[in-house]
Structure 1
Amino acid sequence: MRVAMIGATGLIGRQLWPLLERRHDLLVLGRRPSGAVQEKLGAMADWPGLLAGHAVDVAISTLGTTRKAAGSWAAFEAVDRHAVLAFAAAARKAGGHQFLIVSSSGADAGSRNAYLRLKGEVEEAIAALGFERVDVLRPGLLLGQRSERRIGEGVGQLLSPLLNRLLVGSLDRYAGIDAGLVATAMAALVERREPGLFRHHNREIRALAA
């Protein structure tokens, strides 16, 4: 498969791209080196242009930041909405028939929470681009060693073993989950052919990674 990917230096992405590179023809687009064999670097606004001339079967986004890390809501939206959708549109134009994206548990275009609303709106916008198959992964709190400090998530990771015992049944989707499992699940989904829109929460992600 010819796979194009953004977000390869993040918590999930840096564990995903080596899995993809073993089985597929992978092209990584990014702002800084990831270590992938085929890689094109540039500003986020340049990524659609960097993809021009490449044929794509599957496109993947593990790109994401936080409002605090970005510095403002506008800067956050530039990453989590505009960069992702511009890449998705370019991948579709390049022939992509499948798109995989890491979203968030609780994502909902009708949510009162601005973060969850944005995530839901991005999911809907990608689904409207015409891909034959869209896989949306909605993990709970991501567990793993980040390259940057996120104090809130750090506290959440420390409390995760206790919280996970309480988050059972339908609440399991909000529990902590290892980023490596999400990466493994995404690599498995690249092999899927059934058309449609599929949303995968913690329980489905663990099953895919098994």
Structure 2
Amino acid sequence: MATPSTAIIGSTGLVGSNILSTLLALDTFNPVNTITRRAPHATSAHLNALIETDTTKWADILAGLKPTPTTVFSALGTTRAQAGSLANQWKIDHDLNIELAKAAKGAGARTFVFVSGGGTRGMISSWAPYSKMKNGVEDAVQELEFEQAIVLKPGMILGQREQNRTGESQFQTLINALGSVSGGVKDRLGQDADVIARAAVRAVQLADEGKAPSKFWIVDGDEIIKLGRTEWPGNDVAPAAPEAVKAAEQ
């Protein structure tokens, strides 16, 4: 049987780069396509890195990939400071992600994976612009009715970014300090980027095995730790199917 193809959007970011390295290490998908404004650091004979600085062309590029990716991962996201304004951030975090999801669906992708954010569905937090962007993408992905949709909702994403975010860096320092006292406290507040990435890949593996708990699967912080660390194949605990899906809430 032919090895399935996949595509990753946002593969030069913290989580996306870890998704890319995880997939290349597993050697499960061939080719692994990336669409980016700059070349990813990873290299592999299985990597098809497509560079396009004009993000308005990304959806068409994704739709035109051959063979059609069976799974598309989006870890695409920016900040208001990097984008220059809230309106520009909305174009990337919300509009472009939805456009890419529609392109993936139209091209025939079976599974779409979106790295969203935790705590966006609270009574108060849902009104924040960040939450509105993430929730809008989640809702759009659900409405597209992929054979399998997976939304990861981590807390603070922990790891070293190429571009430092001052406030985030300070919060990471605090979480890591708490983690030295209690790993459980750290896991509840934030998850390491490599763990989030492995959870995304593992969720796809389970879905391909018919073990996803729902057609629209929300993977939150606790389940991210479970899939990406505790039950990641090769750890002491054998991998198992998730027990339940929680209600939909980077």
Counterpart pick for 2:198 among 184, 188, 196: 184
Corresponding position of 1:24:
29
2:36 is aligned with 1:45: no
Matching residue's letter, 2:50: K
Give the stretch that moved more between structures: 43-52 or 191-200.
191-200
2:100 is aligned with 1:87: yes
1:16 Cα offset (Å): 1.2
1:18 Cα offset (Å): 2.0
Alignment of 1:1-210 (within 5 A): 1-21=4-24, 22-25=27-30, 26-34=32-40, 35-36=42-43, 37-42=47-52, 43-54=54-65, 55-108=68-121, 111-163=126-178, 173=188, 175-191=189-205, 192-193=207-208, 194=212, 195-209=214-228, 210=230
CA distance in 1, matches of 2:90, 2:202: 29
Q: TM-score, normalised by structure 1?
A: 0.91
3-state SS of 1:90 partner = helix
Does the 8 Å contact 2:187/2:225 carry over to 1?
Answer: no
CA distance in 1, matches of 2:222, 2:152: 11
Residue-by-residue CA offset, 1:115-134 (whole Å, 9 max, x unaligned):
11221111001111121111
CA distance in 2, matches of 1:78, 1:66: 11
3-state SS of 1:60 partner = strand
Which one has the largest radius of gyration?
2
Q: TM-score, normalised by structure 2?
A: 0.77
1:162 Cα offset (Å): 4.5
Matching residue's letter, 1:3: T
Percent of matched pairs sharing the same residue: 33
Matching residue's letter, 1:197: F
CA distance in 2, matches of 1:116, 1:167: 27
1:53 Cα offset (Å): 3.0
Q: Name stretches of at least 5 consecutive residues in structure 1 with no aligned partner.
A: none
Q: Name stretches of at least 5 consecutive residues in structure 2 with no aligned partner.
A: 231-250
Equivalenced residues, count? 208
Residue-by-residue CA offset, 1:33-58 (whole Å, 9 max, x unaligned):
01452021112111111123321211
CA distance in 2, matches of 1:180, 1:64: 17
3-state SS of 1:40 partner = strand
